[in-house]
Structure formats: structure tokens, C-alpha cells
Amino acid sequence: MHEAAMRPGDDVILSVQDLAVHFPIGGSLLGHGQRLLRAVDGVDLELKRGECLGLVGESGCGKSTVALSLLGLLTPTRGRIVMDGQPVSGKQSGDRKALARIVQMVFQDPYASLNPRQTVRRTLEDPLRLHGVTARSEIEGRLEAMLKHVGLRPEQAGRYPHEFSGGQRQRIGIARALILNPKIVICDEPVSALDVSIRAQIINLLLELKETLGLSYIMISHDLGVVEHMSDRVAVMYLGRIVETGGWREIFERPAHPYTRTLIAAIPDPLRRAPLATTKGELPNPLNPPDGCAFAPRCRHAEAVCQRAPVPSLETRPDGHAVRCWRADDIAGEAFADAALT
């Protein structure tokens, strides 16, 4: 599954360059005394056709802000987004309806993301009508096919959301995201609100749809177990920046950034016989980020250069593995098994 999406020659369907999203906080009406919340601050990403890119990090690191920018629901402060050859941001960006036919989202909460007053039929028909599909036969055909794709029966189309279980509601949410035949699907914590017994079903459904329909995924999650199972490549975010990217195997077996190592060490593993390594402190206040490397105050590898020098750049190695860390070479030489455990 992982190797299939990484064939040489696969082209890029999404390119994100120097994406920044800043929000002014407080101050007067004229802007005096305002502070700047740098929710996303210089993110570069690429998504290839047919692959799943995992975007991981703690809550508040900027993952959802990136997603809303890709959907055209937030205007970036700076940067460039090109999706399937179409600029998403800037003066040359296309209209919102055209973008909706390229990218859609599966939301985290299947209970809150569906209109309780609309039947499944109405939920799936409305996007089609909005985008110019008016022939009753075509609407019926696409609706029936999509319900079957997600494991629901066409006769269930007349029911309301409260008549379905949580897993079934998420299947409806997936059907709604796919009804316009998008090329990219952003999955924002798609299984975190579901019972553990249902999560594997939804994950397997998403993987099956990816192969069947030729989709490209961005999987946003703080659950690295889900990301490891689904992703071809992984990008790790910390305080608005990408700190490490690479193939799933490199990230999970040979992580080079101390923050990535901490995240992976925290994955529950009943076979561990030693306590997991912990990170000092909490995520810094994004309104008042620390000098130098933002992770330095919590990093056991930090030295004076990490706290005083400018923010390190994201350095890409010959194998495509990229790391934002002054001490990446030293840390890479340390066995991960020893680094992950105290």
C-alpha cells in the first residue's frame, strides 16, 4: 500500500510554497497595540497524485489552518498554493466552485458535520445541483453509486442523520465529500470521534476508496498509529512550521527531529518494558514564541545555539528526508530505540 503511491514519475497535484496565515489579536480599531498570532508561518508541502500525506502534530500547531487555506476558506498572509495546476491563493486564484471540484474535506465529528434537518438524499443532491447537475437520472445514478461505494444501501437515502450510528454518519460524510468526484480529499481527524471498534472500518474504507477512485489524501491527525497505517509520506508540524518530512518508513523508523521522536515514542506499545521518554513543558504560546528553535525549551538535545540562533531552515537530504534542526546530524547518529526510552 505504501510503495504503490511512490512510483517514480508520479506528478505533483498540490504544491504549497511559503504558506503563512497570521491573525491580528487585540489592540485598538486603528491597529495600535495589536499582537500577531502566527498560526502558520512558512509551510512548504507537496502532494503527489495517488498518495496519502500525513500531517501530524499537537493540537494548536496549525494543521487545521493549513487545511482551511487549501480549501480556500482562509486567505493566506503570504505564500502560494497551486492545486491541479490551478492557483488557490493570490490574484490568479480560481473561483470557489471550481476549487470545490478539486478538493473536499471529511470532517472530524460526524454528528456535527451533517445537517440534522436534511435527509441523506438532500445532503448528497445539493452539491450536485449547485454544480450544474440537474438531470434526475444522473443525480439518481451518482447518488446510488456513491452510497454503495461507502457501504450504505440506496434505500437508506430517505433517512435523517439521527437514524444512523456514528460510523454510518461518517460514511455519509465521506459520500458527501466524494459526490463531486474531487481529486484531493483532506481528512481532518476522520476517526477520532468514533468508537475504537469502528475506526478500523472507516480507515479501511478510506484506503479502498483511495485506490478505487484514484484519490490523493492529506490525512490530518494527532494519532500517529492512524497516520502510520495510511500514509505514504509524513510531514510533522510544530508551532506553525514543518519540522520534518519524509517517507513513512524514514519518519517512523529513523526520525531525525527530537519532536518527531517524542511523538513516535508516545504511541502506545504494550511490548515496551521501559517508560516512554517525555517532553518538558507545554506547547509555547504562539503569541509569544521563544527565540531560535521553537522546540528548544522542551528539547533534551538543545544547546545554546538552538536558543540564540535564527530559526533553522528545513534542510533536505539526498534521500528526500528533510529536517529543521541545528543538531539533526548528531541526533541521527543516536539509536532511536535508546532515544525513545529513558
pTM for this one?
0.88
CB 309 within 8 A of CB 326: yes
The 10s digit of each residue's pLDDT in 257-278 is 999 998 888 777 644 434 445 5
- What does the pLDDT average to over 73-80? 93
What's the pLDDT at 93? 57
Give the CATH class of 2-102+182-332: alpha beta
Sheet containing 12-25, strands listed edge to edge, beginning at the edge strand earlier in sequence: 35-48, 12-25, 78-83, 86-87
Where in the chain are all domains bearing CATH 3.40.50.300?
Answer: 2-102+182-332
pLDDT(28) > 80? no
What's the pLDDT at 276? 45
- What does the pLDDT average to over 84-97? 72
Within 10 angstroms of residue 268's Cβ, the number of other Cβ atoms is 7
- What does the pLDDT average to over 24-49? 84
List the single range of 28-32, 148-152, 296-300, 312-316 with lowest mean pLDDT.
28-32
- What does the pLDDT average to over 303-308? 85
Would you place residue 3 in the very low, low, confident or very high pLDDT band (cuts 50, 70, 90)? Answer: very low
The 10s digit of each residue's pLDDT in 100-120 is 999 999 999 888 999 999 999
CA distances 188 to 52, 65, 101, 304, 334, Å, are 13, 11, 18, 37, 33
- What does the pLDDT average to over 18-25? 93
pLDDT(73) > 60? yes
